Structure 1
């Protein structure tokens, strides 16, 4: 039928038709929109090349986490601290309507992000819709190289250790384990594990990082499109199984972060402090196509050990703490609440 339609258009359409590649890409996108899944998406070759940078732990763009809402709008979940998006005043909850004059409303998630990203030093103009503003407005952002140090660790007051994991790359478990051992050697008697603004990463790393803090049991359950189910276990005998623990999460905590935090919460290993997480509990399998484009297909969903769905729901912290917009620079109410909990036990 598609071939028949193309033949009719070729013979009868009044006006010039786009080239075959453009027509094919448009047909593919139209097909995928019927699936009602923003994470199953087609990515053109130049944008696919940009996404492949993620494996390196750094990328070039504006420095913000985003999500595609059910109504087709791209929403800023959180601008990353100190990065260009925050510098120009972009806020959590802002809606990106267009990029350099191209509407992204209804566009696939990865394609929209690919338009926002670009070489460091170049500028991109975003049309922003903001609650409370009557009209959309334009913001020009100078892109930068966004380097995400995988692990940051230090000792805080009262012998409380702190580890921030920014991404589940292929070194995550090794780095978290090394940081934890160093803090224990310094006499840490409690630990804050910070997964805020961590967008996720590799499944095997999520399972192994979770295992560091959990004794024998289940970390996560995967159910695929054919009805198959697989449980991912943790084993007894790891470094972080007994140290008093708090996990920090927020709206930028997604995917692998939610797997780890959900397991820790379900198994009553620690409390979660912060804000509702993003709610990305699906698994995408990338297919590299012959022309350099890529098709990402949702093949499975994640569930917590207590069989709770993450997807579209997110994780609700045991103790909810927001960070008001007028919070003085350098203050972190969520971290302070975690320290209070570990120090006072409530």
Structure 2
């Protein structure tokens, strides 16, 4: 990179995941179907929970919020990629890039906060069943979601404001399909120490705190479950946590490997891990929760039958 050229750039070039046209065509088709499936799957979960009174519980309230966030999360990155491919363009304006960074940080952290809230909900249901209705009252559930939104938006605002202070010079191309903060920082020709410091301190705190809450919640859950007198009781308790643990493992396994190290060490291989939590996880969530949950499958079945009856009539 020519650090001497101080010409301020007005756009970035998203070179995608592959330089070969055939592979880009295949990725375009894959991303199109994945995005469509993500929107439909998560929207069906929200609709099923809204229409079925049996699912008007804290657990499904948080699940509906998670599905909403996953729809927004996918919509931050994939549509721009698809539009650029259709138009034969690889550019994204500076303003669009900063906006994408803001919402990307907001929704990725919101996913983590909701997963931690859901872990606390499972802890309360299994470890304090007699007091569950009192503890997880509607006002507390709404408060937990609202506080999560406030924290994640303030966190995203901090990093975005720091990002707009960074100077970008002549090099503006990166092998990625959206404005990921780390690859963007690698293009900078100014000092990014403050940015990386905030990533490791504030960003690390925002990421590690929900993960710690999840870990502590499940530590109490497993220690309590092992005291159950019957194997059937243990299986029943753990079955309510299986879907959540699968999503947590998929989400945090990728995100911690990519962002908990300096931006200078970011490589093309990390893009694969980025795809997991930006593309695969929002798609996987509705299938994981619906296929492993009898109540959700029943609610979806009723919803589909109801819609078919209304269509025929």
Same fold at TM > 0.5: no
Q: What is the TM-score when the length of structure 2 is the normalising length?
A: 0.30
Q: What is the TM-score when the length of structure 1 is the normalising length?
A: 0.28
Higher strand share: 1
Higher helix share: 2
